[in-house]
Amino acid sequence: MPNDAKKIDGGMGAPKAHDSAHLHVSGEATYTDDVLESHGCLHAYVLKSPHAHAKITKIDISDCYVPGVHAVMMAKDIPGVNDAAPVFPGDPIFADGVVLYYGQCILGVAAESIEIARAAVKRAVVTYETLPAILNVHDAIKAQKFVGDPYEMGQGDAAGAIAKAKNKIKGSLDIGGQDHFYLEGQIAMATPLENGEFHCWSSTQHPSEVQHLIAKMLNLHDHAVTVEVRRMGGGFGGKESQASLIACVASALAWKTNRPVKFRLDRDDDMIMTGKRHDLNVAYEVGFNDEGLIEGIEYIHAVNCGMSPDLSNAIADRAMFHADNVYYLGNAKVTSYRCFTNKVSNTAFRGFGGPQGMLAMEYVIDDIARHLGKDPQDVRKINLYDAKGELGDRCTTHYGMTVEDNIIRDIFSQLEHTGEYAARREAIKTFNAQNKILKKGIALTPVKFGISFTLTMLNQAGALVHVYKDGTVQLNHGGTEMGQGLHTKVCQVVADMFQIDFDKVRITATNTSKVPNTSATAASSGADLNGKAAEAAARTIRDRLADFAASHFDTEISAVKFAAGYVHAGSHTVSFKELVQLAYAARVQLSSTGFYKTPKIAWDRPKGKGRPFYYFAYGAAITEVIIDTLTGEYNILRADILHDAGQSLNPAIDIGQVEGGYVQGVGWLTSEELWWNDKGELKTHAPSTYKIPTGRDVPKDFRTVLFEGINPEETIYRSKAVGEPPLMLGISAFLALRDAVAATGAANCIPPLQAPATPENVLKAIQAVQK
């Protein structure tokens, strides 16, 4: 039927619903645990270390073989490399002679049911010789135990500038970790195939790496292993490197038994066995003038990496990259220690170190303002990076990159206005003067987040597009869907390229046999990289179709236009479907790959200088809170967010990322407290003890707006990455709480609030300023 509409449904920029939304609400969306199990599928369970550090002196598995058990495996049974580490070695699949953290996997059992597997694991007899454990960063630094070399970034003479400055503050901030708490726990199901091949369903953000690690473990080539993921029930970085262990255990047992094996971690095992956001201590010293202008600053990051490198070095680097947030630091030195501890290896988590680096910076700004008795917003404004060329060189970061796209001033002025910052600040003063038990606080904090993998090599992506004879399109790319709406956005890109409706494009499960050598879906880069790769693939086919149309309808190629379901070629108009059928008959190739690599980036790590990021994404949030000074409990009353997603590919999805990121950031800095006992055992390993925000924790008055802008760089649709940056908007809630605490103390007091700001930590800070 001819279509009079000028626009297709669901092109770039349309607020299209998630491509699986109708499956989510009906329960039909298939997650790895929902994939139909093949006949004979076994279930895996593992023995976890009861010690943080111990030598394994003996393993006796003779009693494990109860009826229904098909295999028991440990380190010595792995045919290839016993390591599930992403970059640097150190993450044994099964512990080999020594355990390095509480919960480390020692042996695995495959049995006909999970109950049998569990019972069998209980029958293993392992003896240990316990060893002293390092459980915090301070002890690690004392013992000089690191998972990577200490690293420094900086410019000018920080110490000299601080020494000369009129005002100085020295301080320290403990920043807690965070569990990902994806609703779907880690899971994989591996199936042995003919000719030594394996197929593995894995809930992973990085199928290529899982593929490679399974192959390495089984002494196979990469071409023998296929890894597939349709969707994850949340990832947040937790399934970037650490899904590999789960997939390796399942695959090892599948190899051993020659049967399909499923390994699904229940919530407790998931939280005990997999890494978290890095907790760290930031020590800082800052020198500044009477206006609050920073003249010199030194940071020491002591990063708790856990027992192996995992991705910690890149994460600790990013904490350093964001030690400036949106401010020109001048003379600055950032030193980072990548501390080894006998804890589970900490890993990627939305923001990848950025949040910790940025929180410390905002804490310092807050310190300066309180010291000088100024509104923190005034101190923020005078320290901002200048727009390029505006004022001398106040636009070069401490790692030598010029900030070219700074829009934070515009964001500030718009948000201060719409968020009624000044008026609310005054109202809060009045409220606090009238109330002795309840106090309010407010904070406005900005975000500037660098977009690109800082390991330049990873900034590449591939896609595969097929056009079928009926005019529908199947699309595949290297990115994975974890809820962020990546597949929806990439479908929109392809629909737009061909000018066909969104529902004519279908995306299928991410599969290493379709697009090879992919990077992890991480660093917020999913849509930037894969959108461009899919665009390239679609463009190749569209160009072929245009060429064909020009010759078929005997017109100039410039006269061929794809628009709203139709193709116009000079005076001829056919539907997209008709053109495809004609092209097929004329033997035009209707399938293509596409490839993209991010331009402009170059990072010289040994020198600590370069342009690690293609561009920055910006945003800011105002949060207003109220606290109960008797108990330290609090509520968030209102949050106003203005966030920069460039020209949004899908504003509905982007708003979802912004709001969800904010709430997750608030959770990190408020109720989400990880608690280990003095033996290194995690005691908050389920939602009964680990408290992520619920509906009532969300600000009652919650106003989120996307900043009207366009990415000056040539990204897909001139959009900006939006996965990670909004998480750091949650910092405003932490500083609003600190502001409320300050209202209970003397003027110019600096509350020593530590993160997370649990009610207990808030009360502690209140007691400290009242002393």
Partner 1 sequence: MSDSIRFILNGKLVEVADLPPTTTLLQYLRLEARLTGTKEGCAEGDCGACTVAVGKLVKGKVEYQSMNACILFLPTLDGREVVTVEHLKSATGAPTPVQQAMVKCHGSQCGFCTPGFVMALSTMVNNKQNASEDDIQDAIAGNLCRCTGYRPIVDAARMANESAERALPSHPKELASIQRNRLMTYDVAGGKYFSPASVEDLAMVLSVYPDATILAGGTDVGLWVTKFHMGLPVIIYTGNVVELRQIRESRVLLEIGAAVTYTEAFDALAAFDPSMEDLLKRFSSLHIRNAGTVGGNIANGSPIGDGPPPLIALGAKVVLRSKSGTRMVEMEDFFIAYKKQDRKAGEFVEKLVIPKRPDNVLFRVYKLSKRFDQDISAVCGAFALTIEDDEIVAARIAFGGMAGTPHRAHKAERALVGRVWNEEAVEKAMAALDDDYQPMSDARASAEYRSTTARNLLKRFYIETTDPTTKTRLYRYAE
**Among 51-59, 103-111, 412-420, 435-443, which window interacts with partner 1 (CB under 8 A)?**
435-443
Selected binder of partner 1 within 282, 395, 653, 749 (CB under 8 A): 653
Selected binder of partner 1 within 233, 260, 478, 751 (CB under 8 A): 233
Selected binder of partner 1 within 659, 713, 724, 739 (CB under 8 A): 659
What is the DSSP secondary structure assignment for residue 553, as one 8-state letter? T
Q: Which of 481, 659, 713, 724 is catalytic?
A: 724
CA distance 510 to 76: 33
CA distance 248 to 245: 5
Minimal distance, residue 266 CB to partner 1, in Å: 6
Nearest Cα to 206, choosing from 664, 521, 444?
Answer: 521
Minimal distance, residue 691 CB to partner 1, in Å: 4
Per CB under 8 A, contacts with partner 1 among 480-499 are 482-485
Per CB under 8 A, contacts with partner 1 among 164-183 are 180-183
Let me know if 584 is exposed, middle or buried by CB neighbors in 10 A (0-12, 13-18, 19+).
middle
Report if residue 754 touches partner 1, rule: CB under 8 A: no
Nearer to partner 1, 167 or 767 (CB): 767
What does the radius of gyration of the chain's CA atoms come to, in whole angstroms? 27
Nearer to partner 1, 285 or 673 (CB): 673
Looking at this protein, which amino acid is placed at residue 463?
A: A
Selected binder of partner 1 within 226, 342, 525, 758 (CB under 8 A): 758
Q: Are 382 and 271 in contact (CB under 8 A)?
A: no
Nearer to partner 1, 368 or 641 (CB): 641
Q: Which residue has the tokens 């044994």?
A: 92
Report if residue 18 touches partner 1, rule: CB under 8 A: yes
Selected binder of partner 1 within 127, 219, 430, 689 (CB under 8 A): 689
Report if residue 429 touches partner 1, rule: CB under 8 A: no
Tokens of 85: 């580490």
Minimal distance, residue 94 CB to partner 1, in Å: 22
Nearer to partner 1, 485 or 725 (CB): 485
Tokens of 683: 């005691």
Report if residue 275 touches partner 1, rule: CB under 8 A: no
Minimal distance, residue 174 CB to partner 1, in Å: 15
Per CB under 8 A, contacts with partner 1 among 661-680 are 661-664, 671, 673, 675
Minimal distance, residue 480 CB to partner 1, in Å: 11
Minimal distance, residue 46 CB to partner 1, in Å: 14
CA distance 11 to 141: 53
Q: Tell me, by CB under 8 A, how many residues bind partner 1.
A: 86
Angle among Cα 618, 622, 628 to the nearest 5 degrees reads: 145
Q: Are 567 and 576 in contact (CB under 8 A)?
A: yes
Please name the residues in contact with 637: beta carbons below 8 A apart, sequence gap of 6 or more. Answer: 440, 624, 625, 626, 699, 700, 701
Backbone angles phi, psi at 583, to 5 degrees: -65, -40
Strand order across the beta sheet in which 98-99 lies: 98-99, 54-60, 125-130
Beta bridge partners of 465: 475, 592
**Among 3-11, 588-596, 598-606, 690-698, which window interacts with partner 1 (CB under 8 A)?**
690-698
Per CB under 8 A, contacts with partner 1 among 109-168 are 115, 118
Report if residue 602 touches partner 1, rule: CB under 8 A: no
Selected binder of partner 1 within 381, 409, 691, 718 (CB under 8 A): 691
Nearer to partner 1, 41 or 147 (CB): 41
Per CB under 8 A, contacts with partner 1 among 611-630 are 626-628, 630
Selected binder of partner 1 within 686, 705, 710, 768 (CB under 8 A): 686
Q: Which residue has the tokens 């606290």?
A: 627
Nearest Cα to 624, choosing from 426, 478, 444?
Answer: 444
Three-state secondary structure call for residue 402: strand
Minimal distance, residue 541 CB to partner 1, in Å: 30
Q: What share of the chain is helix, strand, coil (3-state, %, to 5)?
A: 30, 25, 40
Report if residue 268 touches partner 1, rule: CB under 8 A: yes
Report if residue 232 touches partner 1, rule: CB under 8 A: yes
CA distance 207 to 284: 39
How close are the terminal C-alpha atoms of the chain, in Å?
Answer: 78
Selected binder of partner 1 within 91, 184, 367, 405 (CB under 8 A): 184
Cβ atoms < 10 Å from Cβ of 597 = 13
Q: Which residue has the tokens 């600055």?
A: 332
Tell me how far the alpha carbon of residue 18 is from its chain's centroid.
19
CA distance 355 to 398: 17
Report if residue 263 touches partner 1, rule: CB under 8 A: no
Report if residue 422 touches partner 1, rule: CB under 8 A: no
Selected binder of partner 1 within 9, 697, 710, 752 (CB under 8 A): 697
User: CA neighbours within 13 Å on the CB side: how many for 746?
Assistant: 7
Q: Are 401 and 607 in contact (CB under 8 A)?
A: no
Nearer to partner 1, 80 or 687 (CB): 687
Q: DSSP letter string over 214-244?
A: HHHHTT--GGGEEEEES--S--TTTTTSTHH
What is the DSSP secondary structure assignment for residue 700, as one 8-state letter? S
Minimal distance, residue 421 CB to partner 1, in Å: 17
Looking at this protein, which amino acid is placed at residue 628?
A: D
What is the DSSP secondary structure assignment for residue 169, as one 8-state letter? E
Minimal distance, residue 51 CB to partner 1, in Å: 20
Minimal distance, residue 704 CB to partner 1, in Å: 8
724 among known catalytic residues: yes
Nearer to partner 1, 81 or 686 (CB): 686
Report if residue 77 touches partner 1, rule: CB under 8 A: no
Minimal distance, residue 562 CB to partner 1, in Å: 29
Nearest Cα to 721, choosing from 708, 731, 711?
Answer: 711
Nearer to partner 1, 88 or 676 (CB): 676
Selected binder of partner 1 within 698, 705, 710, 768 (CB under 8 A): 698
Minimal distance, residue 66 CB to partner 1, in Å: 15
Per CB under 8 A, contacts with partner 1 among 315-334 are none
**Among 92-100, 302-310, 325-333, 429-437, which window interacts with partner 1 (CB under 8 A)?**
429-437
C-alpha pair distances (Å), 743 with each of 432, 513, 750, 754: 7, 60, 10, 17
Per CB under 8 A, contacts with partner 1 among 716-745 are none
Going by DSSP bridges, is the β-strand pair 609-611/602-604 parallel, antiparallel, or unpaired? antiparallel
- Relative orientation angle of helices 486-498 and 526-552, to the nearest 10 degrees: 20
Selected binder of partner 1 within 236, 255, 321, 615 (CB under 8 A): 236
Report if residue 291 touches partner 1, rule: CB under 8 A: no
Report if residue 22 touches partner 1, rule: CB under 8 A: yes
Per CB under 8 A, contacts with partner 1 among 27-46 are 27-31, 33-34
Nearest Cα to 145, choosing from 356, 333, 309?
Answer: 309
Q: What are the residue numbers of the active site?
A: 724
